[in-house]
Structure 1
Amino acid sequence: MNTPASPAPRPGPRRSPGSTVRIGVLVPLTRPGWTEAGRRLLAGLELAVAEANATGGIGGRPLELVVRDTAADPRRATAAVDELAGLGVAALAGEYHSVVARAVAAGAEAAGLPFLCSSAVLDALTDRPAESVARLPPPQSYGWRAYADYLLGAGHTRIAVAAEPSVYWESGTRILREHLAPHGTTVTGLDARALPPAAVCDELAADGATALLLLTGFPDPAVPLVRSVRRDRRLAGLLIGAPAGQPEFTEWAELLGDDGAGVPFLRYLPERLGPLGARVGAALRERLAEAPSFVAFEGYDTVTVLAAMLRAHGPDRARLAASWPHTVVDGTRGRIRFTRSPGTGVWQWARPPVQVVDRDPAVRGRFRVLHTVG
């Protein structure tokens, strides 16, 4: 089937020869967005821009980020895409929340504006094949199947999910059920919005579940749920998991203390960082004043890819959008190249690394790798 041609890119303001090359950035920096993820993503983006400019920028022109806060609001993100397109940015980058990234991707494709999604994983990032949109993190179905494999390997046959209504959480529940059912594992859904934490504990005790997965917002209701489960003697030994990655946040450890340890989550890092990743990791640690999360590496790799494309093709939107399948870049977590991934509608980094990790109960600031893919 032929893919419909993308609309012609909107013309931006004319630039003088010495002007900057601008990338529009969309990140959640205020609530209800996951603000810690947004700050870490932005730190990685900014570090890569600083390094690119220190080595000559784009053909001698400085690279500049034009940042807009999405606050996890798709409508706000759509308005920001329109604004950034009018400001003449060469490309868009960023976003952490999948529902928001879908809105950004739709607006970018309509404008013929290249968009490299840094962190959102929902499989169907667009409703139909898009030429202008690419993504770094793996599709949700790939990462969450790896998480399901970890649960199987740990011997869990009765799993409960406490989920809030959302296309992202509903997709995650479906992926888990489809992958686990052939192995005889049941997945029971609990409505985290309708049931208070004590009622969730009652349901878990009655069900006999051996694992509870938190498919919820952070800090509420995730933090109250963890506290209630940890204090319920009927649920001693119950595994709490959070595939979406909430336990990696520093705020998670600060709010939950020892209760927040031993909660497996997904992160997208290799077993060992190479020389580039190690150097960038040290620079990010200095910039953030704490250990960098995988989200910061995603931000750095996003600008690394876009800077390479801009140096090769200039800030012409149509040429950039056509270059996804021809782009090969060494990132902090491996060599990045883009292919078409069935069911996603976008250009996809084919094999980003996937890990299941948790905070070590013995040393909360240390992470234990429990399962690795790629």
Structure 2
Amino acid sequence: MNKVAEVFWQFLILGCVSFGGPAAHIGYFQTTFVQKLKWLDESSYARLISLSQFLPGPGSSQIGFAIGLRRAGIFGGIAAFIGFTLPSFLLMYFIAIASTDLSSNSLISGIIHGLKLLAVVVVADATYNMFQAFCKEKLSISIAVFTAIFLLCIPSLSIQIFALITAAIVGAFYGTPIITVSNSKNRLKLLPLILFISFLVILPFVTVMPAPLNIFADFYQAGSLVFGGGHVVLPLLQQTIGDAISTDRFLLGYATAQAVPGPMFTLAAFLGAELSQPHQILAALMATVGIFLPGLLLVLSLQGVWETLASRPKVAGATLGINAAVVGLLFSALFDPIFISAVSTPIDMALVVLGLFAMKIIRMPILLMVISFGICGVMVQFYNG
């Protein structure tokens, strides 16, 4: 199979089943691309995670783009982005134009419930595997444990950012990482960086543009300024659109974005379709491209430089601390929101245990697990309802 097509297919599958938000996506990527397909090793994946934490934009989408970039060049990165984003984009666009809540359909609701249970299985497995990979000495274990404790006790974005910064500082000064030299070209790519800066500086001053391009400019600005993932982009988007969309419709889009698989930033597709009724599909595309593009341009520009920096002791130590903190973040996310939003009955817990057995012992393919959990979710829905 052509590498670009292979990248697209793998990310399309993940885009259809990756419930649970960015932390869960990191788990899905680790399971698929590090453990099973072996497209990159643990240390390379760790560097991609740490890079995504320092850049604005959707972290999991940036990691996916970087994986596709490493596998099949620029077209592989684009294929990864399209594959992972397309399912949630279509769902958000369909909900915007249909003005219906899919959760009212018992069949759809059952499938979603089953896939949420699968997310528990995948994130639990990934947390365990990443703990083994990134927490091998007392310092990194301590960072992971205390990060999890703080985020479980005080679950807020500010604590999450504080934990990552603190972990980076502690790792830089006290960590003793194993330095891995990358084989990448280790160059700063100037064109993507120039495009990022040019769009950021010029677009706000261009006042005479067709409506879809105005939407692109507004959403590009929001995507350039948001650190911390999908929940942080919410207030920025509220300020961007002002009173153009009612609060009820905005909250419907926000709630739906949390319920569908894939990146939460596809909320932009819903809002774009709402903002331009005569050109809904074009506006949805412009909003989606606009909000994702800044982060992807920065990854394309800085990935090689980051590979070089990561081989330096202080930066490698900071990376060690960040990755240990990400393990703690993943553990806290495993409980809230992933576990508590999916597991509510003993039958749910039994399916999670069975799923862990199927994944770790039987080594069941992920596609077969997706089908199985979808069917089980429907059966549980009809049993309970």
Q: TM-score, normalised by structure 1?
A: 0.27
Point out the structure with the larger strand share.
Answer: 1
Q: Considering Cα pairs closer than 8 Å and 6+ residues apart, tell me whether 1 or 2 has the greater RCO.
A: 2
Q: TM-score, normalised by structure 2?
A: 0.26
